[in-house]
């Protein structure tokens, strides 16, 4: 059939009318549901906004309180550490003062060593029997041993003090570094407390909740603070004990040195008295010996004259006997005159031999007296030299009683000041 209009329709199936009404109803229901969901969402969003705002406020408030408490805690530990630094500074100053006083004491021991060395050198110049081990030498050697022990002890105390000062300095550096870290932490916490959500210096960070590798726990931080405080208290107590251990032996050594100085001086004075007594006795012995030698010398001269006179008598007798041998014939007989001359010759020879023996004995005795006189002169020289040596030793030891350590106070006021240790409290005179 021929058509006037060509109608072109979509090549899709047609929706039936009931389905169309169904689509409209479904659309109405969907709109109602979406509007109801939007209403519920608005109420839930408002409720969630209020709840999150309140929760955020109180969470921020609690965290501010925590940061504030942490700030106060760190501030307290910082003040504690600063007090420890001040205490350590005072302890280092006091320990250095004790070390300087001990070093001065060691310097004074150097004077004592010099005096003891000079005394031993002087007394070693004695000669003969005077070069003996007497009480003076024993006391000086005991004093030398005491000085060696005191020097060793004080030197060790100075070394311990130097080591303790280094330990305190190292500990002070650690505490100062810890105080600086706490100051930096306080600055950060103060800046955190002063900032809020309206501050201009806040921004989003990539991973702010990350945990660094070197982070420590609160317990570890508290343990480190307590450890530093305990270590500082222990080092301060050790330093105080060391100062007491340096003060007491130093004062005791002064008393010991003074007592030993008195004992040594007494032994030297006693030795001087004994030497003077022996020297006076030797002077008396020498005087008597010189007198005896003069008398013996006269006797030797007399014996020599007697021997000389006997020699002439023997010459006479021998000449007589010799001449009578030349008598002629029977006249050359052994008569009473010959026998008398022979007896006289034998008697003269015996007498001359006795006189010669006595002369030799007298000479030997004189030589012995002369040797003994030489010995006495030598002993007198040694005694005088030993006496001069001990007197010089006493003069040398006077330096020990005129120094600033063993010298007695000039006045009673100075003595009271020295006994009460108020030298540092009294202001200097203008």
pLDDT band at 30, cuts 50/70/90?
confident
Stronger pLDDT, 15 or 90, i.e. the higher one: 90
Q: Which of 226-240, 288-302, 305-319, 396-410 has the highest mean pLDDT?
A: 226-240
* pLDDT of amino acid 270: 86
Domain residue limits at 153: 37-194+217-325+334-404
Pairwise CA distance, residues 173 & 162, whole Å: 16
**pLDDT tens figures, 269-303:** 888 888 888 888 888 988 888 888 888 888 888 88
* pLDDT of amino acid 130: 67
Stronger pLDDT, 217 or 379, i.e. the higher one: 217
Residue 5 lies in a domain: no
Residue 17 lies in a domain: no
Residue 3 lies in a domain: no
Torsion 176-180-185-189 (CA) sign: positive
State percent of the chain over pLDDT 70.
90
Structural domain count of the chain: 1
* pLDDT of amino acid 162: 93
pLDDT of 332 higher than 80: no
Please give the structure tokens belonging to residue 86.
Answer: 């001040």
* pLDDT of amino acid 89: 94
Residue 20 lies in a domain: no
Residue labelled with tokens 């010996």: 289
pLDDT of 237 higher than 90: yes
Report whether 62 contacts 184 (CB < 8 A).
no
pLDDT of 87 higher than 70: yes
Pairwise CA distance, residues 74 & 225, whole Å: 10
Please give the average per-residue pLDDT across 304-314, as a whole number. Answer: 81
Residue 55 lies in a domain: yes
Distance of CA 243 to the CA centre of its chain: 12
Pairwise CA distance, residues 77 & 83, whole Å: 10
Q: Mean pLDDT check: name the lowest of 24-28, 92-96, 269-273, 415-419.
A: 415-419
Pairwise CA distance, residues 151 & 253, whole Å: 10
pLDDT of 180 higher than 60: yes
pLDDT of 64 higher than 80: yes
pLDDT of 412 higher than 60: no
Please give the structure tokens belonging to residue 338.
Answer: 């010959």
Instruction: Give the containing element (helix H, strand E) for 175.
Output: helix 135-194
Average pLDDT of every residue of the chain:
83
pTM for the predicted model, two decimal places? 0.66
**pLDDT tens figures, 125-149:** 777 776 777 777 788 788 888 888 8
Residue 87 lies in a domain: yes
Residue 128 lies in a domain: yes
Pairwise CA distance, residues 289 & 274, whole Å: 22
pLDDT of 321 higher than 80: no
* pLDDT of amino acid 176: 94
Tell me the Ramachandran region of residue 29: left when phi exceeds 0, alpha when psi lies from -120 to 50, beta otherwise.
alpha
Please give the average per-residue pLDDT across 350-361, as a whole number. Answer: 85
pLDDT of 427 higher than 80: no
Residue 4 lies in a domain: no
């Amino acid at each position: 059939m021929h058509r006037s209009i060509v109608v072109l329709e979509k090549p899709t199936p047609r929706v039936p009318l009931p389905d169309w009404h169904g689509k409209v109803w479904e659309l109405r229901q969907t709109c109602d549901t979406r509007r109801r969901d939007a209403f519920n969402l608005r109420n839930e969003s408002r409720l969630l906004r209020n709840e999150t705002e309140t929760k955020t406020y109180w969470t921020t408030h609690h965290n501010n309180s925590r940061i504030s408490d942490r700030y106060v805690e760190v501030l307290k530990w910082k003040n504690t550490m600063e007090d420890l630094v001040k205490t350590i500074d005072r302890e280092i100053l006091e320990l250095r003062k004790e070390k300087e006083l001990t070093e001065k004491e060691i310097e004074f021991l150097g004077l004592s060593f010099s005096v003891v060395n000079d005394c031993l050198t002087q007394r070693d110049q004695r000669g003969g029997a005077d070069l003996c081990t007497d009480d003076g030498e024993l006391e000086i050697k005991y004093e030398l041993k005491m000085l060696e022990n005191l020097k060793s002890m004080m030197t060790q105390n100075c070394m311990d003090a130097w080591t303790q000062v280094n330990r305190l300095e190292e500990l002070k550096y650690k505490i100062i570094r810890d105080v600086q870290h706490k100051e930096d932490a306080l600055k950060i916490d103060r800046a955190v407390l002063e900032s809020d959500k309206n501050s201009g210096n806040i921004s989003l960070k990539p991973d702010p909740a990350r945990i660094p590798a070197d982070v420590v726990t609160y317990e570890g931080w508290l343990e480190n603070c307590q450890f530093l405080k305990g270590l500082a208290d222990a080092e301060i107590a050790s330093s105080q004990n060391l100062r007491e251990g340096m003060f007491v032996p130093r004062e005791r050594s002064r008393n010991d040195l003074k007592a030993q100085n008195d004992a040594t001086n007494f032994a030297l004075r006693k030795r001087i008295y004994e030497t003077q007594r022996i020297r006076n006795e030797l002077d008396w012995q020498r005087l008597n010996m010189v007198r005896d030698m003069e008398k013996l010398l006269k006797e030797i001269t007399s014996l020599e004259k007697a021997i000389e006179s006997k020699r002439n008598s023997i010459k006479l007798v021998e000449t007589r006997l010799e001449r009578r041998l030349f008598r002629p014939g029977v006249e050359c007989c052994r008569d009473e005159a010959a026998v008398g001359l022979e007896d006289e010759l034998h008697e003269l020879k015996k007498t001359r031999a006795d006189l010669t023996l006595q002369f030799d004995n007298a000479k030997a005795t004189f030589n012995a007296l002369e040797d003994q006189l030489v010995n006495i002169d030598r002993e007198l020289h040694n005694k005088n030299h030993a006496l001069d040596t001990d007197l010089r030793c006493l003069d040398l030891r006077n330096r020990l009683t005129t120094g600033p350590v063993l010298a007695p106070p000039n006045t009673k006021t100075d003595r009271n000041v020295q006994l009460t240790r108020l030298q540092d409290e009294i202001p200097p005179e203008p």
